Amino acid sequence: MSDVPQSRPGVIHDLGYRRYDGLREGTATIARTLFITGLRHAYGLGRSGKSKVMPFLLLAMSVLPALIVVGVVVLTGMSSLPISYADYTNQTQLLVSLFAAAQAPVLFSRDLRHRSIVLYLARPLSAPLFALMRWLSLAVALWFFMAVPTLLLFVGAMLSGLDKSDQVTQLLKAVALQTLLALLVAGITGLISSVSLRRGFAVVGSVMALIVLTGVVTAIQAIAADQDADAVSVAAGLFSPWSLYTGLANAWDAGVETFVPVDGAWVLAYALVALLLVAGCLLGLVARFQKVGSR
């Protein structure tokens, strides 16, 4: 109050607000907070009660069969799990896809539709970093979605005394594959949701890209294999995230059957396509958020 200039006519009065001179958190903290908030929101945590229904309903549906399998294995003392870890994810792909389609708009559409994105970007946080953190949130949420039943199966296997080193190898393979799949699916659904801001259209778009496309690819693979056109069957697998996943799992001996075994140079092609797809989606997301951020 004391150092208010008296002589000049125009004066900004000191109302007692104090400047913040303390330590400021850096970009890393902002990014981490954004990531954690995004992860929580993907499961409806920290949001209304209604928004928790969908993610947890889907999670429950994907865990239930695993519980049944574990129960059966433990009670009957089977010598192996009736389904491999990687294949369990494959068999429940509908639920994983639906989870991604339903929750991607939560992370990618809302800020753009309500233009709250400009508030985020008004902080020392760049558009690319924002896009990256959102993508990571969704990817980890998806990974978690797949990992929970996988871990349950593993616990079941351990309880019934199956060979530990065997199971651990299978588990680690499955987890690695699931990570790749999560990054892939998060990229695809995120990109779709950030372009199509109406929730309904984003969901239908994601369902098209994940479920319908996989249906088409599977149909082509099956028919090609039936016609003994093995190369066509394997090549068709390059065109959907789920067939990439099953193809790589098959090549890596993770316990997933495909119509035609994926081997040789095809493995490299599958891995390359998967990585390129992740990179492409990321670039698309960054470009999209840079564009809306600059408006």
Partner 1 sequence: MMNATIAKLALQALLGRRRFYLLLAFPVLLIALVSLITALADGDAAFDILPGLGYPLVLPLVAILAASSVLGPEVDDGSIIYLLAKPVSRYGVAISKWVVALAATLTAGALPILVAALITGDSTRAWALFVGALVAGTTYSALFLAISAVTRHAVIASLMFVLIWESLLGNLFTGVAWLSIGQWGLRVGHELSAQLPDPANLTWAILASLVVTAVGVWFAGDRLRSFSLRGED
Positions touching partner 1 (CB under 8 A) are: 48, 54, 61, 94-95, 98, 101-102, 196, 198-201, 203-205, 207-208, 211-212, 215-216, 219-220, 223-224, 226-227
Helix (H) or strand (E) holding 237: none
Q: How far is the CB of 262 from partner 1 (least distance, A)?
A: 21
Complex with partner 1: residue 83 or 204, whichever CB lies closer: 204
Nearer to partner 1, 4 or 212 (CB): 212
* Cβ 204 to partner 1 shortest distance, Å: 5
Amino acid at 203: V
Residues 6+ apart with CB under 8 A from 215: none
> In the complex, what is the shortest distance from the CB of residue 94 to partner 1, in angstroms, rounded to a whole number?
5
Q: Could you identify the residue written with the tokens 């351990």? A: 158
Nearer to partner 1, 54 or 292 (CB): 54
| Closest approach of partner 1 to the CB of residue 86, in Å | 19
Structure tokens at 240: 């959907």
Continuous segment of H or E residues that includes residue 185:
helix 164-195
CB 213 within 8 A of CB 222: no
- Contact by Cβ (8 Å): 245, 140: no
- Smallest distance, Å, CB 201 to partner 1? 6
**Beta carbons of 86 and 177 less than 8 angstroms apart:** yes
Give the total residue count for the chain.
295
User: Which CB sits closer to partner 1, 30 or 216?
Assistant: 216
- Smaller CB separation from partner 1, 112 or 127: 112
Residue 82 Cα to chain centre, angstroms:
27
Would you say 30 or 204 has its CB closer to partner 1?
Answer: 204
Residue 160 CA, chain-centre distance (Å), reads: 31
Q: How far apart are CA 156 and CA 154, in angstroms?
A: 5
> Nearest approach, Cβ of 121 to partner 1 (angstroms)?
23
